[in-house]
Structure 1
Amino acid sequence: MKIKIKDREVTLYFGVRFVRELDKVAGMNVNGASLGMGLTRTLPALETGDPVALANVLYAASYDTNPRVSQNEIDEYMENCKDLDKLYDRVMKEAMESNIIKATAKKLKMV
């Protein structure tokens, strides 16, 4: 999936590296120890339309952009998006096509 942020084409990836990146921005930390869980916490929030969840997903999925887009650029992109519902739908559709995400979504009974 591709989106355009400030005249830059950004490709979004939804594989294992995406999950690792999502853990960095949305995972659980207890006493400084990372417990992961970013995907497990984010999928239900994304499905209910949580804008922070969508911003985290876009940021984590854009890990391969060089130079990487910032969280502020993602936030601005979303704030200026003319059809946020369509963006949610596109992201969910793309994400659910990933074997990595599909397995977790099944356990959460989302598919």
Structure 2
Amino acid sequence: MNTMQLEINGKEYEFKASIKFMRALNEKVKTKSGDREVELGMTYALGGIIGGEIEDLIDVLYAMNIGFSPRIKKEELETYIEDCDDIDGLFKKVSDFLSKANVSKKKYEQIQKAMKQTSQVKA
């Protein structure tokens, strides 16, 4: 399972959790740790996907389409998500894909585990 396809407005688009995807997301959130800069964008975005955050879904899908033709426009993606009849199904599809892709699998597992531990502590 190397790529994921979605049909949007009659066009077939390809999406992949690639190194370009990871770098594009990581650039969005940076912090300092001691004397070095740490990129956390993918971590935040994966947490958002698990948590059902629409803005993260848009960012993740947009980044996953980097390098493909046709390249989806962000506005087209936003409209697709706004009008989606099964948003839960779309989150599940993206979540399942990211949980298996080499670039995101380990980080996805770590985030899920941390979220599960946090919810058990609160209960």
What interval of TM-score do these two structures reach, taking the shorter chain for normalisation?
0.7 to 0.9
For 1:22, the equivalent position in structure 2 comes to 25
Percent identity over paired residues: 26
Large movers: runs of 4+ above 3 Å: none
* 2:84 equivalent in structure 1: 81
Q: Provide the alpha-carbon RMSD of the alignment.
A: 2.0
Aligned pairs, how many?
Answer: 106
Unaligned runs of 5+ in 1: none
User: What is the deviation of 1:92?
Assistant: 0.4
Give the alignment's TM-score, normalised by structure 2: 0.76
Q: What SS does the aligned partner of 2:62 have?
A: helix
TM-score for both structures, normalised by structure 1: 0.83
Aligned counterpart, 1:8: 11
| 1:93 lines up with 2:90 in the alignment | no
Deviation at 1:99, TM superposition (A): 1.8
- 1:74-98 deviations in Å (ceiling 9; x for gaps): 1011011110000000000011111
Q: 2:57 — aligned with what?
A: 54
Larger radius of gyration: 2
Determine if contact 2:13/2:71 at 8 Å carries over to the other structure. no
Q: Which moved more, 1:38-47 or 1:99-108?
A: 99-108
